[in-house]
Amino acid sequence: MRRPKILVFAGSIRTASFNARLAGLAVKELALLNADVIRISLADYPLPLYHGDDDAEAGPPQNAVKLKRLFGIHHGIFIASPEYNASITPLLKNTLDWISRVREAPEPPLAAYRQRVFALGAASNGTHGGYRSLIALRHVLELGCGAMVLPDQIAVRDAATAFDDMDNLRDEANANRLRTVLGHLVDAAHQLA
């Protein structure tokens, strides 16, 4: 059986981002599950603010094409999503919007979101742990892009104290929840590998 290829990234490029830490931990856990894991930073793929006129005139920027192709070669994707104003970050929404605009023949529209599975996580200092961002992200991915998003997810609250010095989750229930989410992601990705 082929090892599933999993892409991991955070919807934040902020220094000391809690979600970057969650993404890093996800990479370690996925490697233990024998997945072929790649982690990227959206800082390496800067994109202008989506504007329909710019898209119509020049098409998607090269970084959107690169990200769409990265999505396309992976069976599963884990996104660690910060919460901004009870929703996802502008960075993450803009990235997902640009990727959705990339059309490469003979693929159908939104090909980057089809035939792969998504798993979601969030870490926030708030009492909801970024849960509201996960609702918004699920809405964008499932309803907007037609993606398959696993029902399991993790929302880590009080993120400033949730990680130890090795960037592991201090709370065993959270650690187990993350392992469960990622285990389901690997199982679902195996079906696509």
pLDDT per residue as tens digits for the range 77-105: 999 999 999 999 999 999 999 999 999 98
> Per residue in 158-185, pLDDT tens?
999 999 999 999 999 999 999 999 999 9
Provide the β-strand partners of residue 118: 77, 149
For residue 18, the tally of other CB atoms under 10 A from its CB is 24
* Whole-number Å distance between alpha carbons of 156 and 129: 5
Instruction: Specify the pLDDT at position 2.
Output: 86
Q: At residue 77, what is the residue type?
A: I
Calculate mean pLDDT across residues 44-54: 96
Tokens standing for 38? 């790649």
CB 80 within 8 A of CB 26: yes
Backbone angles phi, psi at 75, to 5 degrees: -85, -25
Task: Decide if pLDDT at 1 tops 90.
Answer: no
Instruction: Specify the pLDDT at position 127.
Output: 87
* Whole-number Å distance between alpha carbons of 43 and 118: 21
- CATH architecture entry for 5-192: 3-Layer(aba) Sandwich (3.40)
Select from 155, 189, 24 the least CA-distant residue to 82.
155
Tokens standing for 94? 């803009």
Strand runs labelled E in 90-190: 117-123, 148-156
pTM of the shown model: 0.97
Side by side, the strands of the sheet bearing 36-39 are 36-39, 5-10, 76-80, 117-123, 148-156
Percent of the chain with pLDDT over 90: 96
Instruction: Specify the pLDDT at position 193.
Output: 81
Quick one: which H or E segment has residue 7?
strand 5-10
Instruction: Specify the pLDDT at position 126.
Output: 86
Task: Decide if pLDDT at 27 tops 70.
Answer: yes
